[in-house]
Amino acid sequence: MRIGSLHRLQINSRSDPPGSSGNRSTQKEKRRAVQYALIYFYDPAEAGPGGDEEVKEWINLDNELTEAGIKVHEAGFHPGTEGKTVTVRDGGAAVEDGVAAGSTVAGYYVLDVPDEHTAVSWAQRIPAARYGRVEIRQVTVF
């Protein structure tokens, strides 16, 4: 089931793309970037992260994103067993230990890229995509 609607908000992160001369004449000609969240999930009951080789892949990916100048933010999460789930119904709050069983959000990147196609190409390089999935969501900045 898909939830939500598409909201487009373009931001101007860098005036000129890397390698350009920087001599742009109008705002319209400037590079317009959009922020996308690449949220990676996996089900620990089915599969999970690999060993040292995968750690190297994550480090290389982080370095490449930084060098490309497109990484806005990244974070990983502690295991779901260490989390809490809060629900509010009929004015009352319930707090439970852990998170729902099944697919778990393991972490995310927020990237500042020119288009969705570029976000997809980076998402394909996230190691967790091999044993889980990566969801791409455009970010609305308030």
Where in the sequence is the domain holding 78, given as residue range(s)?
A: 31-138
Burial of 37 (0-12, 13-18, 19+ CB in 10 A): middle
Residue 31's pLDDT band, with cuts at 50, 70 and 90, is low
Number of structural domains found in the chain: 1
Quote the pLDDT of residue 87. 95
Flag whether 9 is in a domain.
Answer: no
Q: Which helix (H) or strand (E) holds 105?
A: strand 104-113
Residue 3's pLDDT band, with cuts at 50, 70 and 90, is very low
For residue 85, pLDDT beyond 80: yes
Query: Can you tell me the distance from the alpha carbon of 12 to that of 3, in angstroms, rounded to the nearest whole number?
Result: 28
Quote the pLDDT of residue 28. 39
Query: Can you tell me the distance from the alpha carbon of 53 to that of 58, in angstroms, rounded to the nearest whole number?
Result: 9
Q: Which residue has the tokens 């778990």?
A: 104
Flag whether 7 is in a domain.
Answer: no
Flag whether 114 is in a domain.
Answer: yes
SS3 117: helix
Q: Supply the CATH number for residue 71's domain.
A: 3.30.70.1060
| pTM, rounded to two decimals | 0.72
Flag whether 99 is in a domain.
Answer: yes
Flag whether 5 is in a domain.
Answer: no
